[in-house]
Amino acid sequence: MTHQHTDPHRPGTASLAEWLRARGMRMTPQRQLVLDAVRRLEHATPDQVSEAVPEVDLTTVYRTLETLEQIGLLAHTHLGHGAPSYRLAEDDHIHVVCHHCNTVVDVPSGLIDDLDRQLHDDRGFRLDRSHLTIFGTCADCLAGRDD
Ligand SMILES: [Zn+2]
Ligand SMILES: [Zn+2]
Ligand SMILES: [Zn+2]
């Protein structure tokens, strides 16, 4: 065993094999590595995951991220103009990003309850909270500090 195995108290980790099996899918070391890397990095683009798990090739990283999202373990959002950033689907929060310094802040998704309710009541629209990122300017950048 070269890899430290999973902490059974963390949701999602111990159950990966079961979760996959329940969906007729096979547990693979790559799937565990990719899931663990996302958990560690908190938000990670495919490239960042790939750097964290050099033993898994990039194509497999992409495919695995998509698979883990399809089965409900990961969710993605876009924290910039480029690649999606993945995180654990169970982390229910929305992202506020400063587009000057790229600082990412996780805020409780309850902050947009009113928006969610109103869009639903007025237009029958269902908000995809996990995909939502709000861009703006952070307090430091507003104060003119640009380091
Ligand atoms: Zn997307
Ligand atoms: Zn900023
Ligand atoms: Zn986040």
Whether the per-residue pLDDT at 62 is higher than 90: the answer is yes
Q: What's the rounded mean pLDDT across residues 31-50?
A: 95
Find the 26 Cα to ligand 1 centroid distance in Å: 26
* pLDDT number for residue 2: 37
Question: CATH fold of 93-142, please?
Answer: Dna Ligase; domain 1 (3.30.1490)
pTM: 0.81
Residue in the structure block whose two tokens are 């928006």: 115
Whether the per-residue pLDDT at 5 is higher than 50: the answer is no
Find the 19 Cα to ligand 1 centroid distance in Å: 23
* pLDDT number for residue 118: 97
Question: CATH fold of 16-88, please?
Answer: Arc Repressor Mutant, subunit A (1.10.10)
Ligand nearest to the CA of 104: 3
Separation between Cα atoms, residue 135 and residue 41, nearest integer Å: 21
Ligand nearest to the CA of 147: 2
Separation between Cα atoms, residue 63 and residue 65, nearest integer Å: 6
Helix (H) or strand (E) holding 47: helix 46-52
Domain range summary for the chain, segments of one domain joined by +? 16-88, 93-142
Find the 111 Cα to ligand 3 centroid distance in Å: 14
Q: What's the rounded mean pLDDT across residues 36-46?
A: 95
Separation between Cα atoms, residue 51 and residue 34, nearest integer Å: 11
Same topology between domain 16-88 and domain 93-142:
no
